Amino acid sequence: MRSLFAVAGLSLMLVLGGCKDDPTTPEYWTKRIEGAKGKKEKLKAIEDLRQKFMSPAMVPMLHERLKAEKSIEVKRDLARLLGEAKSESSVEALADAVVWSPADTDEKALDKEIANSLGNLGSAKAVPTLVKLLNVKDNYTVLAAIDALGDLRAPEGFDALNGIASDDTQETFVTKKAIIALGNIGDKRAVPTLVKAMFKERKGVSFYLESSFALYQIGTPAADALVPVLDGSDKELYAWAAKNNVKDVALQAKSAQVLGDLHDMRAEKALLGMLNPKTEYDDIRAILQGRAADALGRMRSKAAVKPLAALVTDAKTDAGVVRECIYALVRIGNPEGVPAIITFLGKAPYWDARDEIMRGITMMGTEKDIPAFDKATAEEAKKTETGCKGEEESHPDCKNGVEAAVKRHVDRVAQHKARLLASGECKTDIACWAKKLDDPNDTVRERAAAEVGRCNKAEFAPELFKRLKDQNVDARLSIIQATDWLVNDNPEAMKAAQAIIPDLQKQLAEEKGKTDFVKINEDLRRLLVRIQRG
C-alpha cells in the first residue's frame, strides 16, 4: 500500500511539474517573461510565443504584461502580438499603452505599433483612440492611424481625415494616405475635397490617382459633382481653379476620366463635344480628344461610333488620339465603323498606327471583312522594309535588322487576322466564344472575352471569372472589361460575382508591385469596387 501511495505521489508531482513548464499555458509565459534577466531575453520570449504557442488563451496575460512592463521596446512587441491576435478585448489595453507625447524614437515606434494593432482588431471600439492618434506629433503614427481608419471604414474618422486631406501644409504622403482613407470610408461629404484634390499639385506631386479612385469608390455622388465640371456649369470650381492656376483642360480631361470609369451617361453629350474641341492648340486638342474617346468607350456610347471613326480616318489626328479612338471603338463593339477603318489602313504611313488599326478591325469585324483586310495588309512586308530604311539604329522595330522587322510585322498581321477567322467559326455563338477564352493565341482570347462580356448572359460569367489572371496583358485587360460589362448589365452575374471578392482581393495583394500588371490592375481594382457595391 505504501508503495502504491509513493507511485501516486510521484505521478502527481510530475503532472504538476508538467503544468508549470507547459508552454501552452499563459502561466508558463508569465513566468518566462517576468523572469527574464533583461530586455533582450524578454523580446526573445515574446517572439518564441509568437512563433509557436500563441493562442486566444494568452490574450489576458498579454494585457497584464503590456500594463506592467517598463521597457518601451517590450511594450512595442507585446502590442504587435495583440494586434496579430485580433481580439476585440485588446482595445482598452492598447489604448492605455499609448504615449500621447512621445519624446523619442522608441516611444514613437510604440505608438505606431499600437495604431497598426488597433486597425488589425477590426473593431469600431478602436476608432476614438485612432482619431486621437491623428494628433500625435509623429508622421509614421499618423499614417498608421489613417490606414487603420480607412480599413475600418469608420465614418467617425471623416472630419479629421477630411481636414488632413484639405490641409496644404501637410506632407504630401500624409495627404495621399488621407485621400485613400476617405475613399475607403465612402462618405459623400468627401466629394468636394476629393474633386479639388484631383487637380492639385504640391512640390511636384500629383494627387490625381488617389483622388480619382476615391471618387470612383464613392460612386454616384461623385458623378453628380463631376458632370457640371465637365460641361463647364460649375462656376464656383472654375473660379477656384483660376485662382489656383489649374487649367480648364485639366478640369475637363480628369473629370471625363472618372465619369467614363463610372459609366455615367449624363456625361455623353459633353464628351461628344470634346471630340471636336474649340481650341487652336494642338496639344490641348489631343488631350481633350483622347480623354473623351476613352470615356465614351468605357461608357460604350453608340452615339460616339461615327465621330470616333472619323477621327481615326482623319490624317490630321494625333497618333495617340487614333489609338484611344480605336480602343474606344473596340469597347463599344459596333462594327459600323469597320469599312472606313479598313480603307484607311492601307493609307496609314506608320507601323504603330497600322498595328492599332488592325487590332480595331479584327476586334469588331467578321469573316466577311477578311478579303478587305487581306488587301489592306498585302503590302506590309514592303512597307516595313521601306519604313526601316535609315531607321535601323533609332527605331526599336528595326534595330535587329530589316529582315527581322519584316518577319515580326507579318507575323503580327497573321495574329490579328486570327480574330476574324475565329469570328467566322463562332459568329454569334457565345458558347463557342467562351471556349476561345483558352485559345493559345492571345489576340483571339482578347476578342473572345469582349464577345462574352457583351452577351448579357449570366451563365457565362464564371468563364470570365476563372480567367482574370491571364498572363497576357491585352487579354487580361479585355477579360477585366468584359467582366465589368457583364456584372454591370446583368443582376444575376453581379450576384454570382460576390463569391469572387476574396479571390480578387488576394490577386491584387499578390500582384502588388508587379510592373507587368500595375496599369491594368487599376481596372481590376475598379472591378472589385463595382462588385462590392453590388
Q: How many domains does the chain have?
A: 3
Asked if 505 and 405 sit in the same domain, the reply is: no
Q: What are phi and psi of 202, to 5 degrees?
A: -135, 130
CA distance 388 to 397: 8
Inter-residue contact 258 to 219 (CB < 8 Å)? no
What φ, ψ does residue 232 adopt, rounded to 5°? 85, 5
43 located within any domain: yes
Where is 205: in which H helix or E strand? strand 205-206
Angle of CA points 246, 252, 254, to nearest 5°: 85
Residue 312 lies in a domain: no
Dist CA 98 CA 383 (whole Å): 71
The answer to whether residues 398 and 445 belong to one domain is no
Task: Say what the pLDDT of residue 20 is.
Answer: 59
Could you tell me if 393 and 467 lie in one domain? no
202 in a structural domain: no
Last residue within a domain, chosen from 376, 400, 427: 427
> How long, in residues, is the chain?
534
Say yes or no: 394 and 487 in one domain: no
Same domain, 444 and 423: no
Statement to judge: residues 419 and 465 lie in one domain? no
The answer as to whether 253 is a domain residue is no
* Cell numbers representing residue 296 in the block: 465614351
Q: What is the 3 state secondary structure string of 113-182?
A: HHHHHHHHHCCHHHHHHHHHHCCCCCHHHHHHHHHHHHHHCCHHHHHHHHHHHHCCCCCHHHHHHHHHHH
10 Å CB burial of residue 219 (0-12, 13-18, 19+) is middle
What is the distance between the alpha carbons of residues 99 and 120, in angstroms, rounded to a whole number?
19
- Among residues of the chain, what percentage have pLDDT more than 90? 86
Choose the final residue of a domain: 97, 122, 152: 152
Q: How far is CA 319 from CA 40, 154, 243, 325, 335, in A?
A: 64, 46, 34, 10, 22
Classify residue 354: in a domain, yes or no.
yes
Task: For residues 112 and 118, give the distance between their C-alpha atoms in angstroms, rounded to a whole number.
Answer: 10
Whether residues 128 and 40 fall in one domain: yes
Shared-domain flag, residues 464 and 435: yes
In order, the DSSP letters of 8-24 are HHHHHHHHHHHHHT-TT
Residue 15 CA to residue 92 CA, distance in Å, equals: 36
Partners of residue 205 on adjacent β-strands:
202
Tell me 201's DSSP state: E
Instruction: Record the pTM.
Output: 0.89
Q: Are residues 23 and 146 in the same domain?
A: yes
CA distance 331 to 311: 16
pLDDT along the chain (534 residues), means of 10: 48 46 94 93 96 96 96 97 97 97 96 98 96 96 98 95 96 97 97 97 95 97 98 97 96 97 97 95 97 97 95 90 92 87 85 91 95 94 88 78 92 96 96 98 97 96 97 96 96 97 96 90 96 92
Both 27 and 135 in one domain: the answer is: yes
What domain range includes position 356? Answer: 334-427
Give the SS3 label for residue 292: helix
201, β-bridge pairs: 206
Query: In this structure, is residue 204 part of a structural domain?
Result: no
The CATH number of the domain holding residue 66 is 1.25.10.10
DSSP bridge partners of 202 = 205
- Residue that finishes a domain, picked among 122, 152, 182: 152
As to burial, measured by CB atoms within 10 angstroms (0-12 exposed, 13-18 middle, 19+ buried), residue 9 is exposed
pLDDT for the residue numbered 3: 53
Q: Can you state the angle between helices 139-152 and 105-121, rounded to 10 degrees?
A: 0
Same domain, 406 and 438: no
Asked if residue 165 belongs to a domain, the reply is no
Alpha-helical segments (H) within 333-439: 338-345, 351-364, 370-377, 380-388, 402-426, 430-435
Cβ pair 71, 106 in contact under 8 A: no
Alpha-carbon distance of 359 to 413, in angstroms, equals 9
Residues 534 and 455 in one domain: yes
Classify the C-alpha dihedral 464-469-475-477 as positive or negative: positive
Q: Is 46 a domain residue?
A: yes
